[in-house]
Amino acid sequence: MKTLNFSKIRDDFPILKRLIHGYPLAYLDNAATTLKPKAVVDRMAQYYSMETANIHRGVHFLSEQGTLAFENAREKVRQFIGAHKTTEIIFTRGTTESINIVAQSYGRSMLKQGDEILITHMEHHSNIVPWQMLCLEKGCVLKVAPINDTGELIFEEFEKLLSPQTKLVSVSALSNSLGTVNPVKRIIQAAHAHEIPVLIDGAQAASHQTINVSEWDCEFFAFSGHKMFGPTGVGVLYGKEDLLNKMPPMQGGGDMIASVSFEKTTYNVLPYKFEAGTPHIAGVIGLGEAIDYIHSIGMDNIQKQERALLEYGIKALSSVPGLRLIGTAKDKSAILSFILDDIHPHDIGSILDQEGIAIRTGHHCTQPVMDRFGVPATARASLAFYNTREDIDRLTKALFKVKDIFQ
């Protein structure tokens, strides 16, 4: 394992040199979106300034060059998540669209009235609402596996909810509001024992842990570029080839067709069947560059650094009287959600902002989690490998200032 040069890595992110209200930026909002290294921004700028052309349809040089870069990015994604084939990699606008494709394409064609979909109590709204919409349309039933007071899935209760009526399991690999790391492989094995397909929401996990969909054996995996140092507006849906072939396309238009007449349309082969219209070409190329950047640092190094920051952060925040962490699972990622006395999280966030500290406040698109813990919202500091102990020290000091103001 190579040694990280932290100061050099921070130089890769020019925004970290910004002053916010006169203070150096302490960016602790990585669960909402990560910062983008200069390499990603430069690669996208190069496409727009020197390589602009539409892909897959042209025979001229720029079109062929763009197509090659786009498809090279697909291969990078395949390797990054351990998929068998590039035909199983579908580019989308992000995790939300990826899950909606499964709900609308697989769900509408494969599920019927009375079938059950099983999720957990810690899911993001993007892994709740599409299933509710499907249930309303098809007459399916949404089941929810409970979590305990630390924010961990109660696995025994999850297993009890698996039944002959369960036709799909959809769970997050990593909770965006609690930091809980779910036992993904165990979940998939339990579902497969009942021959139930599984979708894994990897939006948070993709930048924090090694992903291997082939080893996990999940049917679907969804993630977003912007949460792993890539651009916004681009994401991925992985699906097993046999299932994707059975699923109808969700959108119609250019590039998802093989032939069109007024009498009949024949759909394109995978993965293009699910990629209607001109894609976010620069975004996909930027995502490929982000994957290269992650590889240049090494996921082992990223995990080691973030684990150390998390341990330091838990200890530091525990020194603040009246602070309560929400989400204390044994297997936890670098997310620190908390409440402080009876001070509203929005007030906490506003005061921290004046100190140049960026955190997230609110329900984090997980209102059922907030209800489970009896709070309207939390303040959330989420860490990445480019954060420092100084960032955490500044956060802790600022929280003492918040207490002083409200006392």
Structural domain span for residue 154: 41-295
Domain total for the chain? 2
- Give me 228's structure tokens: 């792993």
Does one domain contain both 288 and 148?
yes
Does one domain contain both 21 and 50?
no
Could you say which of 251, 280, 295 is where a domain stops?
A: 295
pLDDT digits (tens, 9 = 90+) for 12-24: 999 999 999 999 9
With 0-12 CB in 10 A as exposed, 13-18 as middle and 19+ as buried, what is 130?
buried
Does one domain contain both 331 and 364?
yes
- Asked if residue 286 belongs to a domain, the reply is yes
Percent of the chain with pLDDT over 90: 96
Contacts of 45 (CB under 8 A, 6+ apart): none
Buried b (16+ CB within 10 A) or exposed e, 213-239: beebebbbbbbbbbbbbbbbbbbbbbb
- Asked if residue 344 belongs to a domain, the reply is yes
Does one domain contain both 211 and 289?
yes
Q: Is a pLDDT exceeding 90 seen at residue 254?
A: no
Task: Report the 10 Å Cβ neighbour count for 149.
Answer: 8
Does one domain contain both 148 and 106?
yes
- Asked if residue 35 belongs to a domain, the reply is no
Contacts of 161 (CB under 8 A, 6+ apart): 118, 143, 145
pLDDT band at 57 (very low <50, low <70, confident <90, very high): confident
Could you say which of 295, 320, 346 is where a domain stops?
A: 295
pLDDT digits (tens, 9 = 90+) for 338-373: 999 999 999 999 999 999 999 999 999 999 999 999
In this prediction, residues 87-113 reach a mean pLDDT of 98
- Give me 177's structure tokens: 């509001």
Helices (H), 247-374: 281-297, 299-317, 345-353, 367-373
Percent of the chain with pLDDT over 70: 99
pLDDT band at 1 (very low <50, low <70, confident <90, very high): very low
User: What is the greatest pairwise CA distance in the chain?
Assistant: 73
- Asked if residue 36 belongs to a domain, the reply is no
pLDDT score, position 5: 80
Does one domain contain both 203 and 107?
yes
Could you say which of 295, 320, 347 is where a domain stops?
A: 295
- Asked if residue 1 belongs to a domain, the reply is no
The CATH number for 194's domain is 3.40.640.10
- Asked if residue 258 belongs to a domain, the reply is yes
- Asked if residue 275 belongs to a domain, the reply is yes
Q: Reply yes or no: is the peptide bond before residue 146 cis, omega within 30 of 0.
A: no
Does one domain contain both 190 and 279?
yes
Picking from 32, 134, 118, the residue whose alpha carbon sits closest to that of residue 360 is 32
**H/E run at residue 79:** helix 61-81
pLDDT digits (tens, 9 = 90+) for 132-178: 999 999 999 999 999 999 999 999 999 999 999 999 999 999 999 99
CB-CB contact of 404 with 160 (8 Å):
no
pLDDT band at 45 (very low <50, low <70, confident <90, very high): very high
pLDDT score, position 177: 98
Buried b (16+ CB within 10 A) or exposed e, 46-59: ebeeebebebbeee
Does one domain contain both 190 and 268?
yes
**Strand, helix or coil for residue 223:** strand
The CATH number for 399's domain is 3.90.1150.10
Contacts of 346 (CB under 8 A, 6+ apart): 361, 362, 377
Q: Is a pLDDT exceeding 50 seen at residue 10?
A: yes
Distance (Å) of CA 216 to CA 11, 240, 244, 375: 36, 12, 18, 34
Provide the annotated active-site residues: 365
Distance (Å) of CA 265 to CA 225, 256, 268, 272: 32, 10, 10, 14
Q: Is a pLDDT exceeding 70 seen at residue 3?
A: no
Does one domain contain both 221 and 316?
no
pLDDT digits (tens, 9 = 90+) for 280-296: 999 999 999 999 999 99
Does one domain contain both 152 and 51?
yes
In this prediction, residues 210-228 reach a mean pLDDT of 98
Does one domain contain both 274 and 128?
yes
- Asked if residue 401 belongs to a domain, the reply is yes
Does one domain contain both 92 and 224?
yes
